[in-house]
Amino acid sequence: MKTSKLLIDSNVIILGYMGCGKSLIAKSLANILNLKCIDLDCLIEIREKMKISEIFQTKGELEFRKIEKGILLDVLKSSKKTVISLGGGTPCYFDNMNVINSNSKYVFYIKNSNKILSKRLLKERKNRPIISKIESLEHMMEFVSKHIFERMHFYNMAKYKIDAGKKKIEEITNEIIEILNQ
């Protein structure tokens, strides 16, 4: 994989549904390219001094989305040549996707099957406020399918789509690097 001559002149944005591996892919990519990495959800928790689940519980989703939008704008304004991992819902609110596309040449949607996502999310649901009460794989698949259908329009606005399938993080990272090399 050629990275020595790779000149990134823009932020690289990683987006997709929760559980698709955005944070891991962003860290891997930033490490290989020797770039800074920002996980928007982590940054929100640091700035707000509370977990995202707590923000949802105490302030509600709408207030969370307003906070998220403000921090997204700060990050896009202050960051150059940075790998940025977004929250699963970030592209779907306000005019976020238009702002994202106008601030980066490299916007990647990490796609995965509803079944793979549902299996992953069922295991880690306690840390995710919108799915924390879902108890069965069947209900998780129902929720994920409906939710992705609602968000698909926004995700598909990304310039590049990567089908993650059962690929390892390294394979997905290499696929992104190949695109960046073009």
Model confidence pLDDT, tens digit, residues 47-56: 999 999 899 9
Polymer length in residues for the chain: 182
Per-residue pLDDT, 129: 78
Can you tell me the mean pLDDT for 76-100? 97
Percent of the chain exceeding pLDDT 70 equals 97
Please tell me which residue, 182 or 97, carries the higher pLDDT value: 97
Can you tell me the mean pLDDT for 88-98? 97
* 3 state DSSP class of 22: helix
Taking the C-alpha atoms of residue 145 and residue 39, their distance in angstroms, rounded to an integer, is 25
Taking the C-alpha atoms of residue 67 and residue 53, their distance in angstroms, rounded to an integer, is 14
Instruction: List b or e across 91-123, with b for residues whose CB sees 16 or more CB atoms inside 10 angstroms.
Output: bbbeebbeebeebbebbbbbbbebeebbebbbe
Task: Extract the tokens encoding 150.
Answer: 């609602």
Can you tell me the mean pLDDT for 121-143? 92
Can you tell me the mean pLDDT for 74-79? 96
Please tell me which residue, 9 or 104, carries the higher pLDDT value: 104
Taking the C-alpha atoms of residue 160 and residue 172, their distance in angstroms, rounded to an integer, is 12
Count CA atoms closer than 13 A to 77's CA, side-chain side. Answer: 6
Taking the C-alpha atoms of residue 178 and residue 182, their distance in angstroms, rounded to an integer, is 7
| Domain extents in the chain | 12-180
Per-residue pLDDT, 5: 54
The burial class, CB within 10 Å (0-12 / 13-18 / 19+), for 180 is buried
Model confidence pLDDT, tens digit, residues 18-65: 999 999 999 999 999 999 999 999 999 999 999 998 999 999 999 999
Please tell me which residue, 126 or 39, carries the higher pLDDT value: 39
12-180 has CATH 3.30.1330.30 classification: no
| 124: DSSP letter | T
Can you tell me the mean pLDDT for 81-93? 97
- Reply yes or no on whether the pLDDT at 156 is more than 60: yes
**Nearest residue to 20 (alpha-carbon basis) of 172, 181, 178:** 172
